[in-house]
């Protein structure tokens, strides 16, 4: 049986492969800035936007993006105020997002719609959302490539980046927006509870094998694409949910890489 | 002689107790000045003030005669932080990628960037490691890469915060010698913050001691006295 004869699988692979490029791109900087939990915080916050969208009968993704962007800016603001306690900003915003999502979900009429955002619905994406993912991804890739050198410097050392002439505030602001938008569109497809894993695990896997910064980026995308394809294939042939399957495969590969590296 | 840094009557406190009390000193072109002091003496606070990370309650800092608040020429200041080599352990970049990133402010192409970076890596004796991941290097090698990265940007002054932290004895001896050469042969101005009085006095031209928030310049006799005292009561 050729799975690509089904339109929904064609769309799932198209969206999955596109997200496999942008999620690890953002993830690489997130990991190097030691803000790995930011994906979790933003995806949980985006759920409050989803709930709001569903309550008001509007497109939940737009509200998710809005909630995620506000949360990301809040994290950045707290991080700047309390530079020694960066993780606190993430915990505070995540608590706020989860709390709001929990309360608002009680007013959502269709729990099925809300649940699809928790674990994703990559195999039932409407055409409009496919276009949205493609459009957002194009914008994220372009911005990332344009800011490649600045993001390298800011991930390396913010103080030195500032002294070298990088507008650290602006770069962090743009990156925060990119992260929020990426997390929001990915939440709809791979699931809010899963997107942060896809942001971090491919990067950690890449760091086990790559020999340079550029290779780490390319390997991160490669691993994400492999996890995404394997997860989609398995969930097609077996009675498994795609989002969870993708993450479980990613964790398994990471454990194997750790094991192989330790052995060698 | 051209004054690169002027610190004028600087005072700073986080709480009621002043960490820096009316600190003044000047760094001129060609100086190799070490600021020594034990842990908690206020060295890190002084550096944060010099880098404009925190603001003083009283006093002023001038770079090239210009107030730090208005100073825009930070590219002329080469800074190697204390924890630089420790943070490098998990950073997935090659020695060459790290070295070329130091040339951000220069409006030149990647080919030229690589050429300059290689030139400085060679000068610092680590060119053969250009393709290695920075995290795989020893402490001394990482510090050489960081110095090459900073020097490649052609700074007017090098500010070093505990440059030998995490570097073994032999490598640090070599690195100090290298700094001395850069200062004497290329007239590079160096401001180093360290707790190592012995090496600071052996390699730098001037030694300032920060103690209980006050800064005093030590002459040769005072340095010998301090070293003797330290040797007897380490």
CB pairs under 8 A between A and B: 63
Asked if the Cβ–Cβ distance from B93 to A157 is below 8 Å, we say no
Q: How many domains is chain B partitioned into structurally?
A: 1
Question: Over its length of 234 residues, how does chain B's per-residue pLDDT go in tens digits?
Answer: 789 999 999 999 888 788 888 899 999 999 999 998 877 778 888 988 999 888 888 999 999 999 999 998 888 999 988 766 667 778 999 999 999 998 988 888 899 999 999 999 998 889 999 999 999 988 888 888 998 999 999 899 999 988 877 777 777 888 888 888 889 988 899 999 988 777 778 888 888 988 888 888 877 666 666 666 665 555
Distance from CA of A63 to the nearest CA of B (A): 36
Partner-chain residue, chosen from B77, B84, B104, that has the shortest CB–CB distance to A153: B104
**Looking at residue B155, which CATH number applies to its domain?**
3.40.50.300
Distances (CA, A) of A8 to A114, A205, B44: 20, 29, 59
Asked if the Cβ–Cβ distance from A157 to B81 is below 8 Å, we say yes
Asked if the Cβ–Cβ distance from A165 to B104 is below 8 Å, we say yes
A166: chain B residues, CB-CB within 8 Å: 104
Give the structural domain span for B24.
3-232
CATH number for the domain running over A3-263: 1.10.3470.10
Question: Over its length of 264 residues, how does chain A's per-residue pLDDT go in tens digits?
Answer: 677 888 888 888 999 999 999 999 999 999 998 877 888 888 888 888 888 888 888 888 888 889 999 998 888 888 778 777 777 888 888 888 889 988 988 887 777 677 777 777 777 788 888 898 999 999 999 999 999 999 999 998 888 898 888 999 899 989 989 998 998 888 877 887 788 889 999 999 999 999 999 999 999 999 999 999 999 899 888 888 888 899 999 999 999 999 998 887
Partner-chain residue, chosen from A32, A163, A211, that has the shortest CB–CB distance to B77: A163
A165: chain B residues, CB-CB within 8 Å: 74-75, 104-105
Asked if the Cβ–Cβ distance from B51 to A153 is below 8 Å, we say no
Give the alpha-carbon dihedral of B102, B104, B107, B111, to 10 degrees.
60
CB contacts under 8 A, B 190-229 vs A, are none
Which residue has tokens 């927006």?
Answer: A177
SS3 A242: helix
ipTM: 0.84
Q: Which of B121, B124, B117 is nearest to B102 (CA)?
A: B117
Give the alpha-carbon dihedral of B6, B10, B12, B18, to 10 degrees.
140
- Phi-psi sector, B37: left (phi>0), alpha (psi -120 to 50), beta: left
Q: Where are the domains of chain A?
A: 3-263
């Amino acid at each position: 049986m050729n799975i690509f004869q089904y339109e929904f699988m064609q769309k799932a692979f198209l969206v999955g492969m596109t997200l496999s490029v942008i999620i690890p791109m953002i993830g690489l900087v997130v990991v190097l800035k030691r803000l790995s939990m930011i994906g979790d915080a933003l995806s949980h916050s985006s759920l409050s936007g989803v709930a709001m969208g569903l309550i008001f009968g509007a497109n939940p993704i737009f509200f998710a993006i809005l909630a995620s962007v506000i949360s990301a800016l809040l994290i950045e603001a707290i991080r700047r105020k309390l530079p020694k306690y960066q993780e606190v900003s993430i915990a505070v915003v995540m608590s706020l997002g989860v709390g709001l999502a929990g309360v608002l979900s009680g007013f959502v009429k269709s729990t099925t719609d809300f649940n699809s955002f928790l674990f994703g619905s990559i195999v039932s994406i409407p055409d409009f959302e496919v276009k949205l993912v493609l459009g957002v991804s194009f914008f994220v890739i372009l911005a990332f490539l344009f800011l490649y050198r600045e993001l390298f410097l800011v991930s390396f050392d913010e103080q030195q980046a500032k002294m070298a002439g990088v507008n650290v505030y602006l770069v962090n602001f743009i990156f925060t927006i990119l992260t929020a938008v990426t997390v929001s569109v990915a939440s709809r497809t791979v699931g809010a509870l899963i997107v942060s894993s896809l942001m971090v695990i491919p990067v950690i896997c890449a760091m086990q094998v790559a020999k340079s910064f550029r290779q780490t980026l390319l390997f991160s995308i490669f691993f994400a694409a492999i996890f995404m394809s394997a997860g989609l294939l398995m969930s097609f042939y077996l009675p498994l949910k795609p989002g969870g399957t993708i993450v479980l495969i990613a964790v398994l590969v990471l454990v194997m890489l750790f094991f192989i590296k330790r052995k060698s | 002689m051209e004054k690169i840094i002027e610190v004028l009557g600087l005072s700073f406190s986080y709480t009621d107790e002043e960490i820096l009390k009316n600190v003044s000193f000047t760094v001129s072109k060609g100086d190799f000045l070490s600021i020594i002091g034990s842990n908690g003496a206020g060295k890190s606070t002084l550096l944060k003030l010099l880098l404009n990370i925190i603001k003083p309650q009283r006093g002023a800092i001038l770079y090239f005669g210009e107030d730090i608040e208005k100073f825009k020429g930070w590219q002329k200041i080469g800074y190697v932080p204390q924890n630089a080599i420790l943070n490098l352990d998990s950073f997935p970049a090659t020695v060459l990628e790290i070295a070329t990133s130091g040339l951000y402010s220069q409006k030149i192409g990647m080919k030229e960037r690589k050429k300059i970076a290689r030139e400085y890596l060679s000068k610092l004796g680590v060119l053969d490691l250009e393709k290695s991941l920075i995290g795989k290097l020893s402490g001394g090698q990482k510090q050489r890469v960081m110095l090459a990265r900073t020097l490649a940007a052609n700074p007017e002054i090098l500010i070093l915060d505990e440059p030998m932290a995490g570097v073994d004895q032999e490598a640090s001896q070599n690195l100090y010698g290298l700094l001395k050469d850069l200062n004497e042969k290329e007239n590079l101005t160096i401001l180093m913050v360290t707790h190592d009085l012995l090496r600071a006095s052996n390699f730098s031209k001037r030694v300032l001691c920060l103690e209980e928030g006050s800064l005093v310049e030590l002459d040769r006799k005072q340095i010998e006295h301090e070293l003797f005292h330290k040797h007897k009561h380490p």
